[in-house]
Amino acid sequence: MGRVVLVTGVSRDLARQFAKQIADDPAVDRVVGVDIVPPRGDIGDVSFVRADIRTPVIAKIIVKEDVDTVVHMSVIATPGDVGGRATMKELNVIGTMQLLAACQRAPGLANLVVKSTSTVYGATNRDPAMFTEDMDARRLPRSGYARDAFEVEGYVRGFARRRPDVRVTTLRAANVIGPDVQSPTAQYFRLPVVPRVLGFDPRLQFLHRDDLMAVLAHAVRNDVAGTFNVAGDGVILLSQALRRLGRPSLPVPSFALTGLGSTLGKSGLVDFSPEQQRFLTFGRGIDTTRMREVLGFEPRYTTASAFADFAAALGPGAISPGRITSPDTVLAGVAGLVEGRGQHG
């Protein structure tokens, strides 16, 4: 008999795509997708249930549907998606607490897979070259997505202690990228003119969207518990990424990035949170030895090839071979882009 999988957050693309994909897995009998609003795209053979994981109704769904595996993917990265930071934190933290309380009361539950993020490690000038899973952030996150993910992982560890009979797998994914991915990092690289911090060239790691789908499916099928960093092999520098995109960059002093980020955020161009700014200043590296040796997963894409696939879908930039751009054009592009968004927002 195959598994019955419940996937949270299916109104968003990555969770919807995963739910649809895992429904075709021979090892899975049924997939139930839950969210506050229906998915925007095709969900195939997934049974959608409109439910708010912040309420006790989620416990009834888990029991009624005979769910044995929960895949938690509804931790939201950007407040704009839900109307503000307060709602985002409530959905992320209170939602996770209620979901875990429901899992606690579900005697048939055998597996919990949580999509977390390497953002929990933060980004500072005192970071190690590579974070391993047993390392903590040099500076604990104080707010935003990183803080939510940090708290979510704490509640997940508490659940694992209370229900040792449930196999708990936490996947700390690097920044997910791909041709159709919508995320703060993808939005940043889609800007026609890309701001960067003067004097810094951070190391970046990426996980291709297809590899995220594959590692989640791997975690559902295989009984391997623990916390795992997940990323493509290698790193690329921000300067290398911008050259491959063929996009002009705008070096700005670190103190000016906050103001520029706020302007870009208010214009709706990109979510430029403080954690994103620190990441684009100091970068981050995560060690994936345990992913290979314990989890038994090998990504298909390296960091470089994942970014290349993303870049290919964008087409040539303004300073690709055969095109030229002056500093004045770059500055005018930023100003015009923000002004245009303000008039049409």
Reported as half-sphere exposure (CB side, CA atoms, 13 A), residue 258 has a value of 4
Q: For residue 210, what is the domain's CATH number?
A: 3.40.50.720
Domain of 149 in residue numbering reads as 3-179+204-232
Number of structural domains the chain divides into = 1
For residue 127, being part of any structural domain is answered with yes
Q: Please name the residues in contact with 340: beta carbons below 8 A apart, sequence gap of 6 or more.
A: none
For residue 114, being part of any structural domain is answered with yes
85's tokens: 């930071």
- In this prediction, what percent of the chain has a pLDDT beyond 90? 67
Q: How far is CA 109 from the centre of its chain?
A: 25
For residue 175, being part of any structural domain is answered with yes
What values do phi and psi take at 216, rounded to 5? -65, -45
What does each C-alpha distance from 87 to 40, 106, 191, 200 come to in angstroms?
A: 21, 27, 27, 34
What is Dmax (Cα atoms) for the chain? 64
Token pair 């995963």: residue: 18
Cα–Cα distance measured from residue 327 to residue 42, given in angstroms and rounded to the nearest whole number? 44
What values do phi and psi take at 308, rounded to 5? -65, -40
3-class state of residue 138 by DSSP: coil
What values do phi and psi take at 254, rounded to 5? -60, -35
Tens-digit pLDDT profile for residues 56-92: 999 999 999 999 999 999 888 776 565 677 878 888 8
For residue 219, being part of any structural domain is answered with yes
For residue 266, being part of any structural domain is answered with no
- Residues 177-188: what's their mean pLDDT? 90
Say how many Å lie between the first and final Cα of the chain, rounded. 52
170 and 156 in contact (C-beta within 8 Å)? yes
What does each C-alpha distance from 311 to 76, 186, 242, 285, 329 come to in angstroms?
A: 25, 10, 10, 21, 22
Q: What is the structure's pLDDT at 345?
A: 45
For residue 149, being part of any structural domain is answered with yes
For residue 336, being part of any structural domain is answered with no
Tens-digit pLDDT profile for residues 253-297: 888 877 776 676 666 667 677 888 899 999 999 999 999 999 999
For residue 136, being part of any structural domain is answered with yes
Q: What is the structure's pLDDT at 159?
A: 97
